[in-house]
Amino acid sequence: MIRWLSLAFIFLSILWSNVALSITLEEAIKRGLEGSFILKEQENIVNRSRFSYIATIDPYIPRIDVQSSYIRSIGPQTSVSSYTTLSTDDVGRSRDAFTFTMSVSYRIFDGGERYAKRRGAYSLLEREKERFKGLKEDVLFSIKSAFYVALGTKTVIEKRRQAFDSAEKIYKLTKGRYEEGVAKKSDLLQAEVRMTSAKIDLVKAEKEYEKALDEFKSLIFIRPEENGDAEGILTEPRFEGRYETLLENAFQSKPEVLLQQKEVDRLMMVYRERKSAWFPKIDTEVQQTRQDRRFFPEGRSDSFMVNFTFPIFDGVGRYYTMKGALSDVEAAKQRLAEIKRTVKLDIDKAIKEYELSMENVRLYTELVREATTTFNQLYGEYKVGKGDIVALLQSEKDLASAMENQIVSLYKANISLAYLEKVAYLNR
């Protein structure tokens, strides 16, 4: 009994290992986004920018410093410090002095430097977030494109298998008629050539599907040797939207546009930071100093200071550094205008490509219907001894080509819609 159970378990394991894992588009998107190395890298970059932004709060917080020192005087009857509170007798008896200083300082005014640095760091963080969204759109489009190509080439195999079956049926019919002495040897040879060509096309389609499947598996992080298959129904995509709405949506929410807007904001803060060098700096400090010859000194001195620093002249560097930062801002604005122009052009081209692909679907669907009618008509005539083998083989070839082109136009239409969604940022 145990032996039979073991054999049954081994058989089921082998059977299960040969079962292909069916991957739908939704599952492929989930796997691809979760495993994408590009997105994981950008997530870490976003975290780094977030930490840098948090760090810019420091200049707004008071600073506390503690300093301790030991001083050994060298030379007879020399004071260890000009600030010591020791008596003359103490100085004579000891050349050692210990100092402990604690100070609390705070900058009151810096001409907007702190604010500019913090806002610039925030704009950098937002810029990296938008870059993450843009990369996510790229990954999403790559997954969709690979899925539709894999699903399309898989369906092409079915159509080419149908073409091979039709060619084989014609060959068997012609062979029977040849054996009966009704058909010529040339007819049989032509039917055999067509059947072999259909077989070659079928094998080629299978290899094309294997390559498309390998690329699809790579994007969703399934090893090539693992069983996996694109699962779904290849249907006509549906999209309704106004051009003005697409354009407005892209300008307001497309990551590439927002990223550059954040870059303009960041560079503006860099300009303000450079501009702050022309303003005075005002710092306050409360300090307590203890010093005497003991390790824990008791001699105490308290002080409050206000420091005012204003650079009157330090060359021409400040001026030209500020002008250079302003030029960077203007350059970034021009780059933003160019990005918007490119986005508009991409949407124009994507809409036209989608419309063309949908027209191809409609035309090839009609062509399949016409080619099917023609083939059935010629096959029926040839079967009863009427018609020409050349016309029949040509009609079968035309039908096979029309069916394949219909499938190709379908998956290309889905890819065109995915690209339109990408350039107009409709997946948010």
Which has the closest alpha carbon to 50: 126, 111, 114? 126
Give the other-Cβ count within 10 Å of 424's Cβ. 23
Interhelix angle 255-275/317-383, rounded to 10 degrees, is: 170
Predicted confidence at residue 385, as pLDDT, reads 83
The single-letter code of the amino acid at 403 is: M
Pairing mode, strands 63-72 and 96-109: antiparallel
Cα 139 to Cα 145: distance, rounded to the nearest angstrom: 10
CATH superfamily of this structure's domain 20-62+110-282+314-423: Outer membrane efflux proteins (OEP) (1.20.1600.10)
Predicted confidence at residue 16, as pLDDT, reads 40
Cα 161 to Cα 165: distance, rounded to the nearest angstrom: 6
Predicted confidence at residue 20, as pLDDT, reads 55
Predicted confidence at residue 295, as pLDDT, reads 74
In what helix (H) or strand (E) does residue 120 lie, and over which residues does it extend? helix 113-179
* Cβ partners under 8 Å of residue 212, min gap 6: 146, 149, 150, 153
Residues of the chain with pLDDT below 50 are: 5, 7-9, 11-18, 78-86, 88-92
User: pLDDT for 215-243, tens place per residue?
Assistant: 999 999 998 778 878 898 889 998 888 88
| Burial state string for 163-190 with b = 16 or more CB within 10 A and e = fewer than 16 | bbebbbebbebbeebbeeeebeeebbeb
* Residues 339, 256 contacting (CB under 8 angstroms): yes
Predicted confidence at residue 229, as pLDDT, reads 85
Predicted confidence at residue 167, as pLDDT, reads 95
pTM: 0.83
Q: Where are the domains of the chain?
A: 20-62+110-282+314-423
Cα 77 to Cα 135: distance, rounded to the nearest angstrom: 74
* Residues 134, 255 contacting (CB under 8 angstroms): yes
Cα 88 to Cα 207: distance, rounded to the nearest angstrom: 100
Q: From the centroid of its chain, how far is CA 267?
A: 24
